[in-house]
Amino acid sequence: MPEGDTIHRAAATLRRAIGGQAVTRFESVLPKLTRVDADTPLRGRIVERVEARGKHLLIWFSGDLVLRTHMRMNGSWHIYRPGERWQRPHRDMRIVIETAAMHAVAFTVPVAEFVTSAQLATHDVVAELGPDPLSDTFRADDAIERMQGHGDTAIADVLLEQTVIAGIGNVFKSEVLFGARINPFVPVSQLTREQLAAIVAVAVRFMRVNVVSGFSRTVEMRRTTGRADPSARLWVYGRGGQPCRRCGAPISRQKQGPYARSTYWCPRCQSVPKVQEVPSVP
């Protein structure tokens, strides 16, 4: 599933390609979108802005209309010049937004809807999103307080909760916890505020360094180690059984959480902290 950095890169590319331009043609295979286009045509509207909120991509059109899409596992947006051949088959097309200069095509996007700005402000998903590490308005204290509200839950599961921090997915979950040297199975209640602050700081650093212009920086090119070697891009994710890049211990992998998502960690670098026992009162 695309994570926050992927969506922010997609938004930046769409913004450069079609931002500020008039829509010359709109097409979709999704009935809910075509009904809106039939009643209040997209043609002639200006693409006012494109932004990412966590894993949601929002395209704002003049006349108070917003297109919200969520990529889920396989969705993607492509940019083409007029007449340029698509890189995906036409059967995968879900949405086409054409301007005189560029065409934006959404492939296999499973979630798409038109909403007004007022509807977006009270949207049952978007309005509940936690702070986005890639946003200029991100507040670390807000993220920490939301994490502390899940005291009995394993920290890895909390990082995937979009109402806590928006945009973190399975890759960043494992990478961030390794970077902060926190065991993924430790409940939040056993972590100090300083440890939670360290997790948030690593999340911000890892995600922001991966937001670059263009679609060429795919998930497969994501980096967290800071190393130039293409074979040493990530610390732990996808490296089960391979030696830790810090200590050499074999990287562990285990299904975790209600959706059985794979978690990767180093059992030596991220050992479970000992719980301090409170001495009994004589």
Helix (H) or strand (E) holding 269: none
What value, to the nearest 5°, has the Cα angle with vertex 213 and ends 212 and 219? 60
CA distance 105 to 14: 10
In the set 3, 98, 184, 233, the catalytic residue is 3
How far is it, in rounded angstroms, from Cα 29 to Cα 33?
A: 8
Which is the catalytic residue, given 2, 131, 133, 184? 2
Catalytic residue among 9, 53, 55, 239: 55
The distance of Cα 176 from the centroid of its chain, to the nearest Å, equals 14
Query: Left, alpha or beta for 199 (phi > 0: left; psi -120 to 50: alpha)?
Result: alpha
Q: Of 147, 138, 151, which Cα lies nearest the Cα of 173?
A: 147
- What count of Cα atoms within 13 Å lies in the side-chain half-sphere of residue 276? 6
Give catalytic status of residue 246 as yes or no.
Answer: no
The first and second tokens of residue 36, run together, are: 């809106």
Known catalytic residue: 261?
yes
Contact 169, 276 (CB under 8 A): no
51 labelled catalytic: no
Which of these is catalytic: 15, 217, 245, 261?
261
Q: How many CB atoms lie within 10 A of CB 40?
A: 13
To the query of whether residue 161 is one of the catalytic residues in this protein, the response is no
CA-closest candidate to residue 167, choices 198, 192, 196, 138: 138
- Residues annotated as catalytic are 2-3, 55, 261
